[in-house]
Amino acid sequence: MSKIYDLIIIGAGPAGLSAGLYGARARLSTLIIEKDKTGGQIATTDEVANYPGSIENATGPSLVARMVEQCEEFGAERTKDTVIDFDFENKVKIIKCEKQEYRAKSVIIATGATPKKLGCPGEKELTGKGVSYCATCDGAFFEDMEVFVVGGGDSAVEEAMFLTKFASKVTIVHRRDALRAAKSIQEKAMANPKIEFKWDTVIEEVKGDGIVESVVFKNVKTGELEQHDADEEFGTFGIFVFTGYDPQTKVFQGKLNTSKQGYIIGDELMKTNFEGVFVAGDCREKLLRQVVTATADGAIAAVMAEKYVEENEF
């Protein structure tokens, strides 16, 4: 029989690593399963300026490395594997992965979410170097510069208004001729003198040597291409993409309660519809998806997992 862990955490982003730290520190035998890169989205972030107490010039990888070190100091185990199925019906939870099967008394799902991409040339290479998916994280880096916001829903328009606090001009780029955002949000954006609109337009290519230097727009109705170059004073500008997120919850959908968008529903104590199964981080249905909220979720979920293990007989 395989070992029965007190706690298994699925996902090694900030939420999962925070849960691992709290779980292991509480002397729970803890295993963190990660299918891909440790750290989640933050692992690709060059600078972290909005995480409380982050040191000067802190990067995503450096913050993740410290989180991993803390987990391991308290005895959390880590493994690389991919969840393909599970059974949460009984007291001992079974997690079936590609390499092997794992068992635990409690489980925290912290699989995260990934921003939907434009899918154009240059986007991947210049992510974190002018291309961003988080206005709160990166808006301040574009003080007095021009920025473009891609999208037409509530999030895109709200983030565009937020970016006017920093940018000299914000242009909303939308593939349709009308926004999908709520009318009240649209009215505020249209009344903001810093916001302009580029209708029926998509980004065809992002160009630059190390940083964003130009962007090629395409009019979806006429097919016309237009290149926009950075202002000589700054040599760069921002491209913020807000076309939605894809929660990494496919394997759990149909059994765990999820929103229409696929986010796992958990209460303020991170409890799901299965006893002893908790959710944390960006894969959870919630308002704000940031490193600070992910780590808070992870801490709460681990504390609740500890209580659950203590209060139940296995």
Residue 261 token pair: 């968008």
Which pLDDT score, from 0 to 100, does residue 41 have? 75
Contacts of 308 (CB under 8 A, 6+ apart): 105, 106, 275, 276
Tell which wins on pLDDT, 47 or 90. Answer: 90
pLDDT of res. 46:
63
* Average confidence (pLDDT) over 128-143: 92
Mean pLDDT of 51-76: 85
User: Architecture of domain 4-115+245-311 in CATH?
Assistant: 3-Layer(bba) Sandwich (3.50)
Among the listed residues 138, 282, 283, 297, the single catalytic one is: 138
Encode pLDDT of 166-225 as tens digits. Answer: 999 999 999 999 999 889 999 999 999 999 999 999 999 999 999 999 999 999 999 999
| Residue 47 pLDDT greater than 80, yes or no | no
**Amino acid 137: pLDDT:** 82
Catalytic annotation, pick one of 71, 97, 134, 283: 134
Which pLDDT score is estimated for 55?
64
CA triplet 182, 240, 235: central angle to 5 degrees? 140
Q: Please give the backbone phi and psi of residue 18, each rounded to the nearest 5 degrees, phi first.
A: -65, -45
Respond yes or no: is residue 177 known to be catalytic.
no
Asked if residue 9 lies in contact with residue 23, where contact means CB atoms within 8 angstroms, the answer is yes
Catalytic residue among 137, 282, 283, 297: 137
Please give the pLDDT value at position 56.
Answer: 66
* Domain 131-241, classified CATH 3.50.50.60, yes or no: yes
Average pLDDT over residues 143-164: 94
User: What's the whole-number mean pLDDT along residues 157-163?
Assistant: 93
97 in active site: no
Per-residue pLDDT of 234-271, as tens digits, reads: 999 999 999 988 999 999 999 999 999 999 999 999 99
Average confidence (pLDDT) over 119-137: 93
Where do you find CATH 3.50.50.60 in the chain? 4-115+245-311, 131-241
138 is catalytic: yes
Mean pLDDT (whole number) for 105-121:
95
